[in-house]
C-alpha cells in the first residue's frame, strides 16, 4: 500500500515531535514524512548555532523543567535509538546532554538575591509513571501541603522556634495516630478543634494545620464540606499575621512567609473555586489574571508585589506587548505550570543543556529522523496554504487543503540534499550560518547577506507548489504561532475561529544577550552556585550562569564565565513596522544599546567586582573570539561588546507565545478536524498546557500525530489535560 505522504511545515519542537511519532517503527512505514523548513536549521525558537570559535549562539537560554515528561521521553528514546559511541562522541546519551540545575534565584532587583536549592526528586523525567497520575489537582494539593509544612518548619527554625518543632511533631503525631483507622471523622474533629480556641494563632498551630492538610490530601478525603475551605482560610489569615509579626528585618524569613502566603492562597483559591471537582480543572479560572486571582483570594499586597511573583511573570515573559506595566498571565495556565514545576518534577526541578539546544536536541532528532527515512527540505518558506474551496465547501463536503505554496529560498547544488550539520570535535552541531558552498550561487548569497530566517526577506531563488494527491496527502502546520497571519490568509478570511485565535492568542518579542568573560563569577563578586535567576532589573530580568558550556565550546583559552541574559522586548509601537525589511536589524540595534546600558548601569548590582572603583564596567573582561582566532586588532572599551552575542527575537515565528487571561479558549486543538487533511502543532495550539514552553509544543506534536494515526493514545500523552 502506498504510504500516506505527510508534509510537516516547520521543524521546531512541535513539528519534530509529530515527525518522531509518525515514523515510529510500529507504524511500519505507513507515513512518509517530509519536513519543510525555512533556512538551514531545525529548532525554531529553540534553534542554536555554532558561531565564531565554535561558541554556542542561542535565541535565549532554554532550560527544561523536570516535569517535561513528554519532551524527556522523546529525547531519551531518540538517544537510545541513535546509539552513539561514547568513545567517539562526548554527548552519546541523554544524561550527557542534560545536567541537573537545582539552584533557582529570585532577585529583588536591587542587591538581594535569594538562591533556593530544590532537592532531587525520585526517578528521572521520562521514566514513565506506574502508579497514580501526578498531573492531577489532588496530587498537586498533596505535594503543596507537604511543601507548606516544610516551609513552616523552616520558618520556625529560622526564627529560632526550635521548641515549635517538637510541639509540632507531638501534635501532628497525635493527628496521625488518631486518624489512622478511619481518617475522616478524626480529621474533622481535628480541624474543628484547630478552628476553635484560636488553635491556629501560634506557629505550632499553623504547622499542625499544615499536617492536617497533608493528611487530607494524602488520603484523598473527599467529603469535608466547607471545612477544608474554612481551615485554609483560617490558616491564611494566621500566616499573614506572621508576616507582619516576624519578618520585618529578615529577608530569608520574609521570603519564606511570602512563599507560604502564595501557597496557602493558591490552595484556598483552588478549594474555593472548586477546582478539585470541576471537570475543567485549572481552565476554570483562565479568565482571571493570576495576580488578580490571588488578590481575590486574599493574598497580601506584599505577596502580590513580591519578587517571587514578579519572577514568575518574568519566567513566562508574561507581559502583554512586552510592556512591564502590563503583566498578564491566565490564572489557570499559570497555576498549572507552577504546580507542575514545583510539585511533579523528577530528578531535578530544572535541567540545563550541556551544549546548544540545537546540538543536544535537534541534531540527534535530525539524525534519527533521517535514519527513519524522513526527508528534509531546507530553504523552503511556506507562503500560502490554499484551500480547496476558499469560499465555502459544498453541502456535505469538508474543507481541505488543496495546495501549499513555497518560496524556494536557495537551491542546493546539483539538486542534492542539503547536509545541515557540522562536526565540532566529534559532536554533530548546527552552524550559526548556512553552508553557502552547498548552495547555488552561494558566494553571492553570502555577499548579499540573504536573511533566510526573516519574514521580511523577500528575495528568493524560485517557487514551488505542492498539490494534494500529487505531492502530499496530509499537512501538519507547525510554524510558530506568529506566522499564521502570513501563511494562512485564506483560512483567516473564511474561518472566524482561526481569526479569533490569531487575535486573542498573543505573542511578544524577546531580547537575549550572551557574554563570555575572562574571569570566573566568584572573581566578579558573585559567589553563588550555578543558578537560573529571575526578577532582576529591566531590560534584562533573567540571568543564567551557563558555566557548564565552558568545556563544550573548546576555546583555546577558556572563558571564566559564560552568562546569558534574557527578557521581553517592549513592542516598538510602529504599526506594521515588523514587515519592514530593516525591522529586525533596527531591533537588534536596540538590544545592543539596551545591553551596553545594562552593563554600564546595572551589572554591578549582580557582579560588584565586574565594575572598577569608579563604577565603570570593565569592558576588558569580555572575550573576543576574533582574538582567539589570531586577529590582533584588539577592540577597546565599549566596542568590545560587539564581540559578544545578542539578538532580538522579533521575526513572527520567533515571537514568544504568551497566555493572557481569557485567551486560552480561543486556541484550536491539534485534535480539531475542521480541515479534512490538516492539523496543527506548536505551543500556540490548545494542548492542555497552553503556554510557551518546550513541553507544550511536544505535547502538541504528539497530539497532531494522534489526530492522524491514533498513536500515541491520549492516555500516553503525559499530563495532557483534556479540554
Ligand atoms: C527567548 C526564548 C527563550 C525560551 N526559553 C524557554 C525555556 O527555557 N524553556 C522552555 O521550555 N521553553 C522556552 N521557550 C519556549 C520554547 O522555545 C517554545 O515554546 C518552543 O520552542 C516552541 O516550539 P514550536 O514548535 O511551537 O515553534 P517554533 O520553535 O517557533 O517552530 C516553528 C518552526 O517553523 C519554522 N517556520 C516558521 N515560518 C515558516 C515558514 N513560513 N515556512 C517554513 N517554516 C517556517 C521555524 O523556522 C521553526 O522551525 C523560549 C522561547 C524563547 C523565544
> Can you give the pLDDT at residue 161?
57
Cβ(487) – ligand 1 distance below 6 Å: yes
> Can you give the pLDDT at residue 287?
98
For the stretch 537-560, pLDDT in tens is 989 999 999 999 999 998 989 999
Cβ(357) – ligand 1 distance below 6 Å: no
Q: Where are the beta strands (DSSP E) in 281-431?
A: 350-353, 375-377, 380-387, 401-408, 422-424, 427-429
User: Angle, to 10 degrees, between the axis of helix 183-195 and the axis of helix 203-218?
Assistant: 160
| pLDDT reading at 329 higher than 60 | yes
> Can you give the pLDDT at residue 170?
44
Mean pLDDT, the chain, rounded, equals 91
| pLDDT reading at 72 higher than 50 | yes
With cut-offs at 50, 70 and 90, classify the pLDDT of residue 134.
confident
The mean pLDDT of 52-60, rounded to a whole number, is 95
- Ligand 1 atom showing the smallest separation from residue 656 Cα: 53
**Beta bridge partners of residue 352, listed in sequence order:** 63, 99
Cβ(307) – ligand 1 distance below 6 Å: no
C-alpha 453 – ligand 1 centre gap (Å): 12
Cβ(511) – ligand 1 distance below 6 Å: no
> Can you give the pLDDT at residue 722?
66
- Ligand 1 atom showing the smallest separation from residue 45 Cα: 29
> Can you give the pLDDT at residue 247?
60
Q: Return the higher-pLDDT residue of 314 and 206.
A: 314
Gap between the Cα atoms of 565 and 646, Å rounded: 9
| pLDDT reading at 339 higher than 90 | yes
- Ligand 1 atom showing the smallest separation from residue 10 Cα: 34
Within 8 A by CB and 6+ apart from 191, the residues are 212, 224, 227, 228, 230, 231
| pLDDT reading at 709 higher than 90 | yes
| pLDDT reading at 293 higher than 50 | yes
| pLDDT reading at 167 higher than 60 | no
C-alpha 408 – ligand 1 centre gap (Å): 21
What is the torsion angle, in degrees rounded to the nearest 10, for the CA atoms of residue 703, residue 705, residue 706 and residue 711?
Answer: -130
| 3-class DSSP assignment, residue 683 | coil
With cut-offs at 50, 70 and 90, classify the pLDDT of residue 217.
confident
C-alpha 115 – ligand 1 centre gap (Å): 29
| pLDDT reading at 714 higher than 90 | yes
For ligand 1, mutation pick of 653, 695, 699 (most atoms within 8 Å of CB): 653
Cβ(670) – ligand 1 distance below 6 Å: no
For ligand 1, mutation pick of 43, 475, 484, 692 (most atoms within 8 Å of CB): 692
Cβ(706) – ligand 1 distance below 6 Å: no
> Can you give the pLDDT at residue 390?
77
CA-closest residue to ligand 1 atom 10: 693
> Can you give the pLDDT at residue 131?
64
CA-closest residue to ligand 1 atom 23: 13
C-alpha 100 – ligand 1 centre gap (Å): 23
> Can you give the pLDDT at residue 298?
94
> Can you give the pLDDT at residue 568?
97
- Ligand 1 atom showing the smallest separation from residue 406 Cα: 42
For ligand 1, mutation pick of 18, 46, 74, 466 (most atoms within 8 Å of CB): 46
Cβ(644) – ligand 1 distance below 6 Å: no
| pLDDT reading at 282 higher than 70 | yes
Q: Which CATH superfamily is domain 4-97+354-504+661-716 in?
A: FAD/NAD(P)-binding domain (3.50.50.60)
What is the three-state SS of 75-126? Answer: HHHHHHHHCCCCCCCCCCCHHHHEEECCEEEEECCCCCEEEEECCCECCCCC
C-alpha 129 – ligand 1 centre gap (Å): 28
The mean pLDDT of 326-347, rounded to a whole number, is 95
Cβ(643) – ligand 1 distance below 6 Å: no
70: nearest Cα among 131, 160, 135, 122 = 135
For ligand 1, mutation pick of 17, 45, 352, 404 (most atoms within 8 Å of CB): 45
With cut-offs at 50, 70 and 90, classify the pLDDT of residue 577.
low
- Ligand 1 atom showing the smallest separation from residue 692 Cα: 19
Phi, psi of 41 (to 5 degrees): -140, 155
How much of the chain exceeds pLDDT 70, in percent?
93
For the stretch 391-425, pLDDT in tens is 777 777 889 999 999 999 999 998 889 999 999 99
Q: What's the DSSP call for residue 622?
A: B
| pLDDT reading at 173 higher than 70 | no
> Can you give the pLDDT at residue 178?
39
The mean pLDDT of 502-515, rounded to a whole number, is 97
Q: Where are the domains of the chain?
A: 4-97+354-504+661-716, 136-311+332-343, 507-649
C-alpha 719 – ligand 1 centre gap (Å): 21
Q: Return the higher-pLDDT residue of 694 and 204.
A: 694
- Mean pLDDT lowest among 67-81, 182-196, 462-476: 182-196
- Ligand 1 atom showing the smallest separation from residue 383 Cα: 41
Cβ(46) – ligand 1 distance below 6 Å: yes
pTM score of the predicted model: 0.95
CA-closest residue to ligand 1 atom 33: 10
Gap between the Cα atoms of 299 and 262, Å rounded: 7
Cβ(628) – ligand 1 distance below 6 Å: no
- Ligand 1 atom showing the smallest separation from residue 487 Cα: 41
C-alpha 265 – ligand 1 centre gap (Å): 33
Cβ(693) – ligand 1 distance below 6 Å: yes
685: left (phi over 0), alpha (psi -120 to 50) or beta: beta
| pLDDT reading at 168 higher than 60 | no
How much of the chain exceeds pLDDT 90, in percent?
74
CB 531 within 8 A of CB 601: no
> Can you give the pLDDT at residue 184?
61
C-alpha 16 – ligand 1 centre gap (Å): 11
Q: Are strands 656-657 and 507-517 parallel, antiparallel or unpaired?
A: antiparallel
For the stretch 626-685, pLDDT in tens is 988 787 788 889 999 999 999 999 999 999 999 999 999 999 999 999 999 999 999 999
C-alpha 271 – ligand 1 centre gap (Å): 35
| pLDDT reading at 467 higher than 70 | yes
> Can you give the pLDDT at residue 223?
59
With cut-offs at 50, 70 and 90, classify the pLDDT of residue 575.
low
Cβ(37) – ligand 1 distance below 6 Å: yes
The mean pLDDT of 277-286, rounded to a whole number, is 94
CA-closest residue to ligand 1 atom 49: 44
The mean pLDDT of 67-84, rounded to a whole number, is 98
C-alpha 635 – ligand 1 centre gap (Å): 34
C-alpha 655 – ligand 1 centre gap (Å): 8
Secondary element (H or E) of residue 158: helix 137-158
294: nearest Cα among 268, 316, 318 = 268
> Can you give the pLDDT at residue 243?
65
C-alpha 430 – ligand 1 centre gap (Å): 16
With cut-offs at 50, 70 and 90, classify the pLDDT of residue 108.
confident
Amino acid at each position: 500500500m502506498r504510504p500516506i505522504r505527510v508534509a510537516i511545515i516547520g521543524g521546531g519542537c512541535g513539528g519534530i515531535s509529530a515527525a518522531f511519532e509518525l515514523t515510529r517503527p510500529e507504524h511500519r512505514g505507513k507515513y512518509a514524512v517530509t519536513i519543510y523548513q525555512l533556512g538551514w536549521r531545525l529548532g525554531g525558537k529553540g534553534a542554536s548555532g555554532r558561531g565564531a570559535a565554535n561558541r554556542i549562539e542561542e535565541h535565549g537560554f532554554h532550560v527544561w523543567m523536570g516535569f517535561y515528561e513528554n519532551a524527556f521521553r522523546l529525547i531519551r528514546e531518540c538517544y537510545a535509538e541513535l546509539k552513539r559511541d561514547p568513545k567517539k562522541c562526548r554527548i552519546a546519551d541523554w544524561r550527557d546532554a542534560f545536567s541537573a540545575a537545582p539552584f533557582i534565584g529570585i532577585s529583588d532587583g536591587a542587591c538581594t538575591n535569594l538562591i533556593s536549592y530544590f532537592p532531587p526528586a525520585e526517578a528521572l523525567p521520562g521514566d514513565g509513571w506506574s502508579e497514580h497520575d501526578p498531573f492531577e489537582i489532588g496530587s498537586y494539593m498533596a505535594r503543596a501541603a507537604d511543601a507548606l509544612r516544610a516551609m513552616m518548619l523552616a520558618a520556625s527554625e529560622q526564627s529560632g522556634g526550635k521548641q515549635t518543632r517538637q510541639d509540632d511533631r507531638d501534635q501532628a503525631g497525635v493527628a496521625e495516630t488518631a486518624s489512622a483507622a478511619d481518617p475522616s471523622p478524626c480529621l474533622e474533629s481535628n480541624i474543628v478543634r484547630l478552628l476553635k480556641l484560636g488553635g491556629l494563632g501560634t506557629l505550632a498551630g499553623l504547622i499542625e494545620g499544615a499536617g492536617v492538610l497533608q493528611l487530607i490530601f494524602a488520603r484523598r478525603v473527599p467529603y469535608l464540606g466547607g471545612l477544608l475551605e474554612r481551615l485554609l482560610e483560617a490558616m491564611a489569615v494566621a500566616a499573614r499575621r506572621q508576616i507582619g509579626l516576624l519578618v520585618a528585618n529578615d529577608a530569608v524569613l520574609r521570603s519564606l512567609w511570602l512563599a507560604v502566603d502564595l501557597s496557602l492562597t493558591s490552595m484556598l483559591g483552588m478549594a474555593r473555586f472548586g477546582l478539585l471537582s470541576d471537570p475543567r480543572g485549572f481552565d476554570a479560572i483562565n479568565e482571571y489574571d493570576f495576580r488578580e486571582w490571588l488578590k481575590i483570594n486574599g493574598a497580601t499586597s506584599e505577596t502580590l508585589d513580591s519578587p517571587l511573583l514578579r519572577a514568575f511573570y518574568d519566567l513566562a515573559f508574561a507581559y502583554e506587548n512586552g510592556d512591564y506595566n502590563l503583566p498578564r498571565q491566565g490564572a489557570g495556565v499559570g497555576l498549572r505550570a507552577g504546580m507542575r514545576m514545583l510539585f511533579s518534577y523528577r530528578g531535578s526541578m530544572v535541567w540545563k543543556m550541556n551544549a546548544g539546544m540545537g546540538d543536544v536536541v535537534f541534531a540527534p532528532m535530525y539524525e534519527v529522523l533521517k535514519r527513519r527515512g524522513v526527508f528534509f527540505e531546507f530553504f523552503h518558506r511556506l507562503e500560502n496554504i490554499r484551500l480547496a474551496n476558499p469560499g465555502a465547501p459544498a453541502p456535505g463536503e469538508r474543507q481541505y487543503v488543496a495546495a501549499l505554496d513555497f518560496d524556494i529560498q536557495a537551491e542546493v547544488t546539483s539538486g542534492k540534499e542539503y547536509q545541515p550539520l557540522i562536526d565540532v570535535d566529534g559532536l554533530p552541531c548546527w552552524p550559526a550560518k548556512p553552508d553557502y558552498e552547498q548552495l547555488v550561487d552561494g558566494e553571492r548569497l553570502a555577499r548579499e547577506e540573504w536573511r533566510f530566517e526573516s519574514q521580511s526577506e523577500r528575495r528568493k531563488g524560485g517557487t514551488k507548489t505542492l498539490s494534494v494527491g500529487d505531492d502530499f496527502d496530509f499537512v501538519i502546520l507547525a510554524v510558530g504561532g506568529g506566522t499564521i497571519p502570513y501563511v494562512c490568509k485564506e483560512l483567516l478570511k473564511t474561518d472566524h475561529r482561526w481569526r479569533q485565535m490569531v487575535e486573542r492568542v498573543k505573542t511578544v518579542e524577546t531580547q537575549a544577550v550572551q557574554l563570555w568573560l575572562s574571569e570566573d563569577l566568584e572573581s566578579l563578586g558573585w559567589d553563588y552556585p550555578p543558578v537560573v535567576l529571575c526578577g532582576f532589573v529591566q531590560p534584562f530580568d533573567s540571568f543564567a550562569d551557563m558555566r557548564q558550556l565552558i568545556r563544550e565550546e573548546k576555546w583555546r583559552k577558556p572563558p571564566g564565565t559564560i552568562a546569558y541574559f534574557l527578557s521581553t522586548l517592549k513592542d516598538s509601537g510602529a504599526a506594521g513596522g515588523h514587515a519592514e525589511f530593516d525591522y529586525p536589524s533596527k531591533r537588534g540595534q536596540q538590544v545592543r544599546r539596551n545591553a551596553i546600558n545594562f552593563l554600564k548601569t546595572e551589572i554591578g548590582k549582580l557582579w560588584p567586582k565586574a565594575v572598577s572603583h569608579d563604577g565603570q564596567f570593565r569592558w576588558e573582561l569580555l572575550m573576543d573570539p576574533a582574538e582567539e582566532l589570531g586577529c590582533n586588532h584588539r577592540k577597546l572599551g565599549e566596542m568590545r561588546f560587539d564581540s559578544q552575542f545578542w539578538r532580538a527575537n522579533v521575526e513572527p515565528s520567533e515571537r514568544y507565545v504568551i497566555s493572557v487571561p481569557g485567551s486560552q479558549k480561543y486556541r484550536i486543538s491539534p485534535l480539531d478536524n475542521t480541515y479534512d487533511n490538516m492539523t496543527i502543532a506548536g505551543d500556540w495550539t490548545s494542548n492542555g498546557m497552553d503556554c510557551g514552553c518546550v513541553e507544550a509544543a511536544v505535547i502538541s506534536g504528539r497530539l497532531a500525530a494522534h489526530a492522524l494515526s491514533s498513536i500515541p493514545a491520549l492516555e500516553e500523552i503525559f499530563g495532557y489535560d483534556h479540554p
